Amino acid sequence: MSLDAHIRELGERHRKLEKEIAAEVRRPAGDQLHLAELKRRKLRIKDQIRHLQPD
Q: What is the pLDDT of residues 36-50, one digit of tens each?
A: 999 999 999 999 999
| pLDDT of residue 55 exceeding 80 | no
**Domain ranges across the chain:** 3-52
Nearest Cα neighbor of 45 from 22, 11, 20, 16 is 11
pLDDT digits (tens, 9 = 90+) for 1-52: 799 999 999 999 999 999 999 999 999 888 999 999 999 999 999 999 999 9
CB atoms within 10 A of CB 20: 16
* CA atoms within a 13 Å half-sphere pointing along the CA-CB vector of 1: 8
User: What is the predicted pLDDT for the residue at 30?
Assistant: 80
Q: HSE on the CB side for 51, CA within 13 Å?
A: 8
